[in-house]
Amino acid sequence: MNKFTLTNVCMTIYCLFTLQMNAQDGYTYTLIDNGNYNFSIGAVPNASSSNFATSVQSYGFTIILPDGATATVISSLGGAVSATFFDGTNVAQPTLDGYLITETLGSPASLPAPSTGTVTPIVTFQVNGAPTSGTLEILANNSALATTITSLKSFMQADMIDNGTAEFVNVVDPNASGLSGTPSFDFETLSVEETQLEKLLIFPNPATDVVTIQQSGITLQNVEIFDMNGRLVLSQKNNLENIQLSNLKSGMYMMRIATQKVSKTIKLLKQ
């Protein structure tokens, strides 16, 4: 990732993408915790009845990290993302650092129609250094920093209108936050929850019809089970002490157990 001072930020990045959204159709961004300091930025469609798949030409947003932390992009929508580092001391906020993340796609990428309500991961990145304090967040468009330095605002240049013509406009509101769901992550509780998660008792394994998760002072958010091809075959958010396996075929699976902050994945054999 390239490092620069904010005096060298190219203001045209934002100026090209400040057109307003059409009607209520549009997108916000949310932070997705994949566990083990791995995160994704997801594109969330506003509530809409539109069955027309969104065509994305370019996008951008800014992530804020605790001072001294760095991040490495793992994947992106088009595979050619640019992540530019800036030092918080340049914006009179010495306790934070950040990355301006942008990508212009060689060919527009298609997102599921807004009516499906599908959250699509746009960029996935790894936070380095295992920080145990401070906050990771997506910069809100209506924050003081983004209002002062508009090139740091989130945008998505996309076509959402089914009229036979490719018309790319900004579909992220530049005047509201541009965020939804979980826009931030507090590293301070991470090490505590990781320790508690490692102490969970998960039995029996191999299992037949039910696998039990014995909790110990920790609140679980969901349990997901994937087959060995990576397909999600079971998702459970209630009664997480007992996971029903009766509908699964015999074989090896990966079970992901998640709190709000961290997750743990184990191999599970269904007999």
Q: How far is CA 16 from the centre of its chain?
A: 24
- Position 130 scores a pLDDT of 81
d(CA 44, CA 135): 22
- b (16+ CB within 10 A) / e for 56-66: bbbbbbbbbbb
- Position 140 scores a pLDDT of 97
Kindly list the domain boundaries of the chain, sorted by start residue. 2-188, 199-270
Q: What is the pLDDT of residues 156-179, one digit of tens each?
A: 999 999 888 889 999 999 999 999
Residue 238 or 111, more confident? 111
CATH code, 199-270: 2.60.40.1220
Which one, of 29, 13, 10, 11, lies nearest residue 173 by Cα? 29
pLDDT at 4 over 70: no
Q: In what order do the strands lie in the sheet with 210-214?
A: 201-203, 210-214, 242-244
Q: How far apart are the first and last CA of the chain?
A: 47
Instruction: Work out the average pLDDT over 46-56.
Output: 94
d(CA 208, CA 211): 8
Return the minimum-mean-pLDDT range out of 39-48, 132-141, 209-218: 209-218
58 in Cβ contact with 105 (< 8 Å): yes
- Position 65 scores a pLDDT of 94
Return the minimum-mean-pLDDT range out of 38-47, 54-63, 192-201, 245-254: 192-201
- Do the domains 199-270 and 2-188 match in fold? yes
- Position 216 scores a pLDDT of 67
d(CA 19, CA 15): 9
What topology is assigned to 2-188 in CATH?
Answer: Immunoglobulin-like (2.60.40)
- Count CA atoms closer than 13 A to 16's CA, side-chain side: 14
